[in-house]
Structure 1
Amino acid sequence: MNIGILGLGLIGGSLGYDLRSQGHHLLGVSRRESTCQTAVALGSVDEASVEMNLLAAADVIFICTPIALIVPQVEQLIAHLSPATIITDVGSVKAPIVEAISPLWERFVGGHPMAGTADSGIEAAQKNLFVDRPYVLTPDANTPQDAIAILEEIVRSLGAKIYHCQPAQHDRAVSWISHLPVMVSAALITACMGETDPAVLQLAQNLASSGFRDTSRVGGGNPELGVMMAKYNRQALLSSLQQYRQNINEVINLIEQEDWKTLEAKLQSTQQARPFFTE
């Protein structure tokens, strides 16, 4: 199968590695010629170009650009394609993307692989990035079943776990477990950097270990991606942030009141709940 990738960064490059290793012919398009050359040299794609018409031969195309570029790039791309071509994306927000693209292209299937690292760019791409990771598909009622089936087969070949849901459901869910943590983690780092005593700040940085690394990791990721999450999933993220703020205020009140019994009960509850999000 000829598979196209528009956007040769971490996700696009990683898709290229895995799909090419299975015998598919990979066609890559990037805004930069240097990225195209690197992707071919690294073995992520067979051919690469800055021109979209390279993807005219693709049977399935993954749109792996930043969220803000997905719809504009698809609008340009479809002029080069056969009506049989399947288009999917990897954006972390689904409702606005599906609403915009579905009327333009019948064989579009919204997608979101829940995988990645704090690094970006084609050099950050890695093999087996999607193994045992969730991969969400958000087809609508009009999406052709054969297009869904073909994409499901490709996703399974990556070793990912497929989930189906409505675009709006996806956006509410990821606001809790992906977008909210980015903002909370960023706020944690900002708060720590607000320490006014340079000696104490330096000591805190020296003492920071696995606990701080775990809770601050996503706050130290790609700033552009964080802004796009907030911009395109604004309402769901605001709702999550407001509920998070209520919980923070509750913890502050318990500590101010020295209500250790209630605080312990709250921490016992979170201890019991965490495995439902990590197993």
Structure 2
Amino acid sequence: MKLGIIGLGLIGGSLGLKLRSRSHYILGISRHSDTCALACQKGIADEASTDFSLLTEAEVIFICTPIAAIVPTVKQLKPILSPETIITDVGSVKAPIVEAITPIWSNFIGGHPMAGTAQQGIEAAQSDLFSGTRYVLTPTENTPLQAQKTLAALTQHLETELITCSPDTHDQAVAWISHLPVFVSSSLIAACCQEQDQEVVKLAQKLASSGFRDTSRVGGGNPELGGMMAKYNKDAIARSLRLYRQQLDKMIYAIEEENWDQLEMILGQTQGARSLFTTKK
């Protein structure tokens, strides 16, 4: 198949490497001509350009841009594509994207590959990024069945497990396991920075090791990405933060009241529940 990929960073570049290795013809689009040249050199794309007209013959197009650019990109594509062209995206928020694009392009299906690394950009692209991960598709009752079948087949080529759900269900689930940790982690770092005793601060900085690094990692990520998560998944993230705050309040109360049995019970419950989210099923 002829596949278009708009945005040749980590996700788009990795899609190109893997799908091209499965004999698909890849048409790459980037805002930067040097990225286009590099995509061809690295085997990410067969052809690459800054001009969307390259995609006129694409059968499926993956939009791998930041969330804010997804809808404007579809609007730019609309005049140059055949109505049969399937468009999908890889954004981490689905409901507002699906709601905005469906009236513009009926052959659209929201997507979200649950894969990534700390590195970004085309240099970070890797052909096995998706292997053994999950790929979420969020069709609606109006999504053409053929579009669903075509994208399901492509996810098999990525060696990833396909999960299908509604856009709203996706957004609340991802708020818990992907978006909330960013704001919890960021709050941890911000709280540490509120310590006024500089001797304590310097010692904490020296003693910080794997536990702090693991817990604070996502809070030290791209601020623009975190802001977009909050903007486009506002309700689900706010709900998750409120419930998280309730759990913190329970722990604070147990500690202040010296209710060690209650605190141990809470910690025991979370010890047992962690595997429900970290063990692959």
Which TM-score tier does this pair reach, normalised by the shorter chain?
Answer: over 0.9
User: How far has the Cα of 1:278 moved from its partner?
Assistant: 0.6
Residue 116 of structure 2 corresponds to 116
Deviations 1:30-59 (A, max 9, x none): 112222122222221121111111111211
- Measure the CA separation in 1 of the matches of 2:150 and 2:238: 36
Residue 30 of structure 1 corresponds to 30
User: How far has the Cα of 1:236 moved from its partner?
Assistant: 0.8
- Measure the CA separation in 1 of the matches of 2:242 and 2:182: 15
Structure 1 unaligned blocks of 5 or more? none
Deviations 1:164-193 (A, max 9, x none): 111111111111111111110111112223
**Larger displacement relative to structure 2 (53-62 or 207-216):** 207-216
Counterpart code for 2:228: M
- Measure the CA separation in 2 of the matches of 1:182 and 1:207: 23
SS of residue paired to 1:58: coil
User: How far has the Cα of 1:225 moved from its partner?
Assistant: 1.1
- Measure the CA separation in 1 of the matches of 2:37 and 2:200: 47
Counterpart code for 1:99: E
Residue 59 of structure 2 corresponds to 59
User: How far has the Cα of 1:199 moved from its partner?
Assistant: 3.7
Residue 92 of structure 1 corresponds to 92
- Measure the CA separation in 2 of the matches of 1:37 and 1:193: 43
% identical equivalent positions:
61
User: How far has the Cα of 1:132 moved from its partner?
Assistant: 1.5
- Measure the CA separation in 1 of the matches of 2:81 and 2:89: 16
Residue 106 of structure 2 corresponds to 106
Residue 130 of structure 1 corresponds to 130
Residue 82 of structure 1 corresponds to 82
Q: Which residues in structure 2 correspond to 1:258-273 (within 5 Å)?
A: 258-273=258-273
Structure 2 unaligned blocks of 5 or more? none
User: How far has the Cα of 1:83 moved from its partner?
Assistant: 1.4
Counterpart code for 1:173: A
Residue 248 of structure 2 corresponds to 248
**Larger displacement relative to structure 2 (205-214 or 11-20):** 205-214
User: How far has the Cα of 1:145 moved from its partner?
Assistant: 0.9
SS of residue paired to 2:105: coil
SS of residue paired to 1:45: coil
SS of residue paired to 1:57: coil
Counterpart code for 1:196: Q
- Native 8 Å contact 1:176 1:240 kept in 2: yes
Residue 198 of structure 2 corresponds to 198
User: How far has the Cα of 1:275 moved from its partner?
Assistant: 0.5
Residue 50 of structure 1 corresponds to 50
- Measure the CA separation in 2 of the matches of 1:124 and 1:193: 31
After TM superposition, the score normalised by the length of structure 2 is 0.96
- Native 8 Å contact 1:119 1:222 kept in 2: no
Deviations 1:193-244 (A, max 9, x none): 3333334323322322222222111112221111110000001110110111
- Measure the CA separation in 2 of the matches of 1:40 and 1:188: 42
Residue 18 of structure 1 corresponds to 18
SS of residue paired to 2:162: strand
Counterpart code for 1:132: G
**Larger displacement relative to structure 2 (60-69 or 200-209):** 200-209
Counterpart code for 1:186: S
- Measure the CA separation in 2 of the matches of 1:103 and 1:93: 18
Counterpart code for 2:102: S
CA RMSD of aligned residues (A): 1.2
After TM superposition, the score normalised by the length of structure 1 is 0.97
Counterpart code for 2:103: P
- Measure the CA separation in 1 of the matches of 2:199 and 2:20: 52
Residue 229 of structure 1 corresponds to 229
